[in-house]
Every structure is written in C-alpha cells, then in structure tokens.
C-alpha cells in the first residue's frame, strides 16, 4: 500500500512541476509574440504601429500584472480548461482545437498500440519458446529488417500501392462524405480512412515488443526456476506462460505504459503523410506556423499524458512484480 501512495504522491508533485514549467518557460523566452504577429501582418520592413501591437496583445489576451498573479490566473484558467486562443484556428480556443483532434488520434493510435503490444508479446514469447526454430528465425530476421524502415516511407508505399494503385482505401483525411456522429455511414467512412495509417503503424510498432519480449524471455528461460518447473513435470504451456512469459513480461509492461503516453505526440510524420486530423498533424502544423498557445497546450497535454502513463506503469509494475513493492517502500 505504501508503495502505491508514494507513487501517487510523486505523480502529483511532478505534475505540478510540469504545469509550472509550462508557465515559466514561455515567459523566459525573449521577444514579444504580439510584435512578431503585427510585424508579419505589416510586412518585413514596415514601421510597427504601437496601437496595433496593443490591440494584438488584447486580442491574444496577453498577460499583465505581477508574475505571481499571472501564475495564479494561469492555474485558475487551467483548472477551467482554458488554454487560450489558437492563432491559426482563431476564433477557436486551444481546448476546442485539441479536443477535436484528440479522439482521432487516441482511437487510431491507441488501438494500434494495444494490438501491437499483444501481437508483439505473443510472437516474441513464442519465438523464444521455440528458439532457433524456423519460426523464430523468420520472425527475428523479418523484424530486424522491417525495423530499419522508416514508417513514413512505408506509408508512402502503402498509399501508392493500396491507395492509388488498387484504389481500395482513401489516402488522406479522416472522413469524407458522411456527417460526423455515431452512425453507420460515418463509422465505416472513418474506419476506411484510418485503415492505411493503422496498417503503417501496425507494421512498425510490434517490432520493438517482439524483439524485446524474445530477448527477455530467452534470458528467463535460462533461470533456475524454469529448470525447476521442467523438473516438476508441469505441462509446457504452464511453464511457458506462468513461469517464463509471466516474468519476461515485466520490462515490457513498463515500456508499454510509456508507449501509451507517447501516443499523443509520437505519430507526427504518419499523420502528416495521411493528412489525418489528429494531434500529430496538429502539432506539426503548430510548430510550422508558430502557433504558441496551441503548441503550449499540446506540450502540456503530452507531458501530462506521459506522466499519467508513468504512473500507470509504476502501479502496474507494483501489482505484477512483488519485489518492486518492497524495494521502493
């Protein structure tokens, strides 16, 4: 129990630190975004109009008052979910923009991650159990080869082959001819659009799990408790699952929770290639056109997600590995 309380305590502390840093860092940067925007609007060599700059500040809701009161305001706004107004999607707020993109990414990448993890662990465990068999060799060789390929390149190949060549799947966007909402036509539409990005990711993501699981499991198979389990005459399935895989799973589980945290920002290239309306593309855009509030909102979201994932990893680890509970307590 102590273990879990400690871990949650740590989480709250780091969360506070992240939120505070997110507040401080932009304020430490030189330059005035309002000036920058007016300059952009007016042209490179034009004289700045102070009134315009002031107006722009007001428009952006630029901060005033002492740092402490700014900080307080920031926290209050944050609790209300107010992250400011996006420059590019004006007049939409950052929260609204992110909210729209959020589910597209979470559903796509979340499904992919869960599936890849499951597939990767199973393949890896099986390859290790049948070490040096034809199955093991082909899995290892193929994984190592595919692992060297860039996802966006695979994406381009798929677009060319399955999209343009065969015309089976749409190659860009999240949906086309249907009205968003929970109806059959839209779900079908969205799924067919998600297919190619999902396939791209499914080709790449399981590889890490396969190789990782295979290696830890092979190491575990050399342990004394596996030999003892064999000597006990237990059925192979039981030895493979309850003794070997159960122990080999531990490092992967921690990695998996972290991977879930990375969902939100980790697929910029793939989403951009498919012009998929998710967080990755949004982040790519935000960086490209210096949409600071949006970028800041996305950063905060990613950081919080990573933290949450870490917390889940720790808690899960505590449940799965009794040794962790005591060592940290």
Partner 1 sequence: MALLDVRDLSIRYEPKQRAAVDAVSHLSFSIDDGEFVGLIGESGSGKTTVGMAVLRLLERPGRISGGSITFDGTDIAHLSQDELRKYRWREISTVFQSSMNSLNPVTRVEAQFADVIQCHTALRGREVTERIRTLFDMVLIDPKFMTAFPHELSGGMRQRINLALALAIGPRFVVLDEPTTGLDVVVQHSILENVRRLQAELGFAVLFISHDLGTVLDLSDRTMVMYAGKIVEEQATRQLLREPLHPYTKGLLGSYGDPRAETVRITYVPGRPPDLAHRPGGCAFAARCPERIDGCTELEPAETEIGDGLVACHVAAIQRGAADNTTGAEVGPAIRTFAGPQFVKSAAESAEAVRGRPLVTVDNVSKTYVRRQGLRAVRTEAVTGASFVLRRGGVTALVGQSGSGKSTIARMITGVDAPTSGQITFHGSDGDQVVARMRGRRLRSYRGSVQMVFQDPYSALNPTKTLGATLARPLINFQHLHGTQLRDRVIDLLETVALSPGGRFVNRYPHELSGGQRQRVVIARALAVEPELIVADEPISSLDVSIRAEVLELFDKLVHERSVGILYITHDLLSARMLCDEVVVLNEGKVVEQGPSLDVIRSPQDDYTRLLLDAIPNPFAATRD
Provide the minimum distance between the beta carbon of 315 and partner 1 in the complex, in angstroms, as a whole number: 16
> Does the footprint of partner 1 cover residue 137 (CB under 8 A)?
no
Number of residues that bind partner 1 (CB under 8 A): 24
CA dihedral (56, 60, 63, 64) in degrees, to 10, reads 40
Residue 14 CB neighbours (<10 A): 16
> Does the footprint of partner 1 cover residue 234 (CB under 8 A)?
yes
Provide the minimum distance between the beta carbon of 9 and partner 1 in the complex, in angstroms, as a whole number: 10
The site map against partner 1 for 287-326 (x = CB under 8 A) is: ---------------------------------xxxx--x
Nearest CA-CA partner of 189 in 199, 198, 200, 178: 178
> Does the footprint of partner 1 cover residue 133 (CB under 8 A)?
no
The site map against partner 1 for 199-228 (x = CB under 8 A) is: ------------------------xxx-xx
Burial 296-326 (b: 16+ CB within 10 A, else e): bbbbbbbbbbbbebbbbbbbbbbeebeebee
Q: Which of 104, 243, 276, 292 binds partner 1 (CB under 8 A)?
A: 243
Q: How far apart are CA 235 and CA 246, in angstroms?
A: 15
> Does the footprint of partner 1 cover residue 250 (CB under 8 A)?
yes
Which part of the chain contacts partner 1 (CB under 8 A), choosing from 24-32, 181-189, 240-248, 289-297? 240-248
> Does the footprint of partner 1 cover residue 13 (CB under 8 A)?
no
Q: Looking up tokens 């740092």, which residue turns up?
A: 67
Which part of the chain contacts partner 1 (CB under 8 A), choosing from 13-21, 199-207, 236-244, 256-264? 236-244
Q: Which is nearer to partner 1, 45 or 132 (CB)?
A: 132
Q: Which of 247, 252, 267, 310 binds partner 1 (CB under 8 A)?
A: 247
Provide the minimum distance between the beta carbon of 244 and partner 1 in the complex, in angstroms, as a whole number: 10
Provide the minimum distance between the beta carbon of 323 and partner 1 in the complex, in angstroms, as a whole number: 5
Q: Which is nearer to partner 1, 34 or 217 (CB)?
A: 217
Where does the chain have alpha helices with state H? Answer: 2-28, 33-42, 50-60, 67-79, 94-129, 134-147, 151-158, 184-204, 206-221, 224-231, 236-238, 246-262, 268-273, 279-288, 292-320, 322-328
> Does the footprint of partner 1 cover residue 1 (CB under 8 A)?
no
Q: Looking up tokens 């034009």, which residue turns up?
A: 46
CA 207 to chain centre: 17
Residue pair 300/83 in contact by the 8 Å Cβ criterion:
yes
Nearest CA-CA partner of 257 in 181, 308, 206, 328: 308
Residue pair 169/192 in contact by the 8 Å Cβ criterion:
yes
Q: How far apart are CA 269 and CA 255, in angstroms?
A: 22
Q: Which of 166, 181, 235, 237 binds partner 1 (CB under 8 A)?
A: 235
3-state secondary structure of 62: coil
Provide the minimum distance between the beta carbon of 274 and partner 1 in the complex, in angstroms, as a whole number: 41
> Does the footprint of partner 1 cover residue 238 (CB under 8 A)?
yes
> Does the footprint of partner 1 cover residue 12 (CB under 8 A)?
no
Q: Which is nearer to partner 1, 50 or 232 (CB)?
A: 232
Q: Which is nearer to partner 1, 43 or 322 (CB)?
A: 322
Residue pair 146/204 in contact by the 8 Å Cβ criterion:
yes
Contact residues for partner 1, defined by CB under 8 A: 223-225, 227-236, 238, 242-243, 246-247, 250, 320-323, 326
């Amino acid at each position: 129990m102590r273990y879990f309380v400690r871990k949650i305590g740590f989480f709250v502390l780091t969360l506070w630190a992240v939120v505070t840093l997110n507040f401080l860092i932009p304020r430490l940067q030189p330059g005035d975004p309002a000036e920058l925007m007016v300059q952009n609007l007016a042209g490179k060599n034009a004289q700045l109009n102070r009134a315009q700059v002031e107006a722009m500040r007001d428009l952006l809701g630029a901060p005033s008052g002492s740092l402490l009161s700014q900080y307080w305001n920031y926290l209050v706004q944050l609790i209300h979910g107010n992250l400011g107004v996006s420059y590019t999607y004006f007049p939409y707020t950052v929260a609204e923009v992110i909210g729209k993109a959020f589910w597209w990414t979470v559903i796509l990448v979340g499904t992919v991650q869960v599936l890849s993890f499951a597939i990767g662990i199973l393949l890896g465990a099986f390859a290790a159990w049948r070490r040096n068999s034809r199955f093991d060799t082909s899995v290892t060789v193929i994984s190592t080869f595919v692992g060297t390929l860039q996802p966006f390149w695979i994406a381009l190949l798929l677009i060319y082959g399955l999209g343009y060549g065969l015309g089976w799947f749409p190659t860009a966007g999240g949906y086309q001819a249907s009205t968003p909402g929970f109806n059959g036509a839209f779900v079908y539409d969205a799924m067919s659009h998600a297919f190619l990005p999902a396939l791209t990711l499914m080709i790449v993501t399981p590889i890490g799990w396969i190789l990782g699981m295979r290696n830890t499991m092979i190491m575990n198979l050399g342990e004394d408790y596996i030999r003892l389990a064999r000597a006990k005459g237990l059925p192979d399935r039981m030895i493979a699952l309850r003794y070997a895989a159960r122990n080999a799973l531990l490092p992967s589980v921690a990695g998996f929770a972290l991977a879930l945290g990375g969902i939100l920002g980790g697929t910029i290239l793939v989403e951009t290639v498919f012009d998929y309306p998710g967080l990755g593309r949004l982040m790519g855009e935000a960086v490209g056109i210096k949409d600071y509030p949006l970028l800041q909102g996305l950063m905060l979201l990613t950081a919080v997600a990573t933290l949450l994932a870490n917390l889940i990893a720790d808690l899960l680890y505590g449940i799965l590995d009794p040794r962790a509970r005591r060592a940290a307590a």
